[in-house]
Amino acid sequence: MSDNSDQRNNYKYFTPITTRWMDNDIYGHVNNVVYYSYFDSVANQFLIEEGGLDIHSAEVIGFVVASNCQYKSPIAYPDKIDAGLRVNKLGNSSVEYGIAIFKQGAETASAVGTFTHVFVNRATDKSVAIPAQIRTSLVILLT
């Protein structure tokens, strides 16, 4: 990730997310594991909406093989947030996304991370080339 990975202008696709009461932990902020759910949501929403992924019957699907998150500042219910998405690396069968979580209106992220999908044949679980329509959508997000 670049040094400016925590700045909103380094992301090309956004989806709004409303935090939920259950996202908060005993310390009064969104629990660390919930951020991975946000990461999964923005990446898959992009694949469905922009890449044409049919999550129920597509022959090729994406498996998460790696993820990480660095927490910069807390968020808490009832914050409204934006999840930003970009593509850091695009291979033949894999993509590494850069993802950031921003409080709505904030230019600096509360959390940043990466999320890697390897595309596989649903029936065999063997890696395959990223389908053309998905690849075309991902190229637009390359940084």
pLDDT at 1: 42
* Whether the Cβ atoms of residue 40 and residue 115 lie closer than 8 Å to each other: yes
pLDDT at residue 5 tops 90: no
CA–CA distance, 24 with 30 (Å, rounded to integer): 4
Interval 89-137: pLDDT, tens: 999 999 999 999 999 999 999 999 999 999 999 999 999 999 999 999 9
Interval 14-56: pLDDT, tens: 999 999 999 999 999 999 999 999 999 999 999 999 999 999 9
pLDDT at 3: 61
Residue 33: in which H helix or E strand, if any?
A: helix 32-49
Residue with tokens 């902020």: 29
CA–CA distance, 113 with 1 (Å, rounded to integer): 8
Q: Environment class of residue 9 by beta-carbon count within 10 Å: exposed (0-12), middle (13-18) or buried (19+)?
A: exposed
Among the listed residues 81, 44, 76, 42, the one whose alpha carbon sits nearest the alpha carbon of residue 61: 44
Residue 35: in which H helix or E strand, if any?
A: helix 32-49
CA–CA distance, 43 with 35 (Å, rounded to integer): 12
Q: What are phi and psi of 133, to 5 degrees?
A: -65, -40
